């Protein structure tokens, strides 16, 4: 009973923070204190509690470094003229009648090639959102379309770390899992394309010609300016470590900022830390980025990652696990997995933890590991992006400066979960009817 009260207080704290618009980092810190209090009551020493927090934060060290590098990239790309160059030429190449579908497919292709939602968001995502702003498209729908594309490959690319994690946990063959994932994503993929095209109907895109022309006057354009984002995509395909990959892109952009834009060392350092900002009509198209822009995200990830040790070392979720096992015997698997993975994503800070906890809760209720792997891919991998404080969806949106509510316009997520849950319900009812006969 005490564990249930702690979990209720945990969720209530987050709910209050969202409703009253309290800083999320503050709410997450209070929850960290709540978990520490629970552990202390359960006779864990202060040293053990500190170790649990440290272990969780340490596990996200690479993520925190990557986020810092992404902030720097978004600032230096702007200063060097890369973003401006792509906006200037991209607006003339894209057909406004198929814009939302176009950016979804563009980001889906890049994410499938690279296998990473973060890598896609920091390259194709930034480009897509910048062009969307320049052409006055709805940022909510654009953000949702980009996020959908980012997760297409994150879920089903042979190079996806989440797909590899699921295969490892369930002891299944990665390529069989990918085959099953493609089979179950056909209908959601078609529905996603149709939905974005419906939102595109009747839209008369108004290109900000004034701002775009100013961009041409502010920067010295050169074809080589597209090399920094291309280098990230190409090096990702060849499995170059993401940190090294990003550092290479930063170095290239620093060189281009100095050579093509005649920027000084102090201007380059300022852009890396504080981003790029100009006071003109072009500013709303290209301002932003820098390490500082990622500080809020770094706090959210750093604090919430401290939860992992408590979930792993304490008995907080034992009672919940027993209850869930009973539910699996009475209801369709995907229905339970969908709801459970969403609730788990509320407590977890990232997609990896969501996947691992969902697996741990469900593994005893599945006889077929391939089916378990598929159901995790169709729930935990996707539903983590539904939660505003979970980095799975929030971080990509932060990277390409989309509104946080874009999470709920990511229709690929919705259709993957909905269609596969409906299929599970139908299969469950057929099986039950056959048994009754």
Question: Comparing C-alpha atoms, which of 148, 142, 112 is closest to residue 127?
Answer: 142
- Helix (H) / strand (E) element for 332: namely none
Tokens coding 369? 């590991």
DSSP for 224-277?
A: GGGHHHHHHHHHHHTT--HHHHHHHHHHHHHHHHHHTS---HHHHHHHHHH-B-
152 contact partners, CB below 8 Å, separation of at least 6:
107, 108, 111, 112, 185, 189, 412
| CA-closest candidate to residue 232, choices 339, 76, 360, 91 | 76
Q: What is the pLDDT along the chain (437 residues), one digit of tens a residue?
A: 788 899 889 888 878 887 787 887 888 899 999 999 999 999 999 999 999 998 878 867 777 888 788 889 889 999 999 988 888 887 777 788 899 999 999 999 888 877 778 878 877 898 899 889 888 899 999 999 999 999 999 898 877 878 888 888 898 988 899 999 999 999 999 999 999 999 999 887 666 666 777 888 889 999 999 999 889 888 877 878 878 988 999 999 999 999 999 999 999 999 999 999 888 777 777 888 899 988 887 887 788 778 877 877 888 878 888 888 899 988 999 999 999 999 888 877 678 778 888 988 898 899 899 999 999 999 999 998 998 878 889 889 988 889 999 999 999 999 999 999 999 999 998 888 777 66
* Residue 377 contacts residue 287 (beta carbons within 8 Å): no
- Burial call 293-331: b when 16+ CB within 10 Å, e when fewer: bbeebbbbbbbbbbbbbbbbbbebbeebeeebeeebeee
Q: Domain map of the chain by residue range?
A: 2-59+298-436, 61-296
């Amino acid at each position: 009973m005490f564990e249930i009260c702690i979990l209720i207080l945990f969720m209530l704290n987050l709910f209050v923070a969202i409703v009253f618009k309290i800083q999320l980092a503050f709410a997450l810190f209070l929850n960290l204190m709540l978990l520490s209090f629970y552990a202390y009551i359960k006779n864990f020493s202060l040293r053990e509690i500190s170790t649990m927090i440290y272990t969780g934060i340490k596990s996200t060290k690479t993520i925190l470094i990557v986020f810092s590098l992404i902030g720097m990239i978004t600032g230096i790309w702007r200063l060097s003229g890369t973003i401006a160059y792509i906006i200037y030429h991209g607006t003339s190449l894209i057909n406004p009648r198929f814009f939302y579908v176009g950016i979804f497919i563009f980001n889906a292709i890049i994410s499938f090639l690279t296998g990473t939602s973060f890598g896609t968001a920091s390259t194709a995502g930034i480009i897509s959102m910048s062009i969307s702003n320049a052409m006055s498209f709805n940022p909510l729908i654009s953000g949702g379309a980009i996020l959908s594309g980012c997760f297409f490959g994150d879920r089903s690319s042979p190079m996806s770390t989440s797909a590899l994690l699921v295969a490892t946990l369930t002891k299944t063959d990665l390529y069989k899992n990918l085959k099953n994932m493609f089979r179950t994503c056909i209908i959601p993929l078609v529905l996603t394309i149709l939905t974005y095209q419906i939102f595109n109907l009747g839209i008369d895109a108004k290109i900000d010609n004034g701002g775009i022309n100013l961009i041409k006057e502010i920067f010295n354009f050169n074809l080589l300016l597209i090399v920094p984002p291309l280098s990230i995509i190409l090096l990702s395909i060849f499995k170059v470590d993401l940190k090294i990959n990003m550092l290479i892109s930063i170095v290239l952009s620093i060189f281009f900022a100095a050579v093509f834009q005649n920027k000084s060392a102090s201007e380059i350092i300022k852009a890396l830390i504080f981003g790029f900002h100009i006071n003109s009509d072009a500013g709303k198209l290209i301002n932003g980025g820098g390490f500082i822009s990622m500080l809020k995200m770094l706090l959210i990830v750093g604090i919430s990652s401290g939860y992992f040790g408590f979930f792993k070392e304490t008995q907080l979720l034992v009672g919940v696990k027993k209850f869930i096992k009973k539910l699996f015997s009475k209801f369709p698997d995907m229905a339970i997995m969908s709801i459970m993975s969403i609730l788990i994503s509320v407590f977890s800070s990232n997609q990896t933890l969501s996947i691992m906890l969902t697996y741990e809760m469900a593994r005893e209720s599945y006889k077929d590991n391939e089916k378990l792997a598929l159901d995790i891919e169709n729930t935990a991998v996707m539903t983590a992006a539904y939660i505003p404080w979970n980095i799975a969806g929030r971080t990509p949106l932060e990277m390409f400066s989309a509104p946080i509510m874009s999470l709920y316009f990511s229709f690929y997520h919705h259709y993957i979960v909905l269609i596969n849950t409906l299929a599970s319900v139908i299969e469950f009812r057929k099986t039950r009817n056959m048994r009754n006969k």
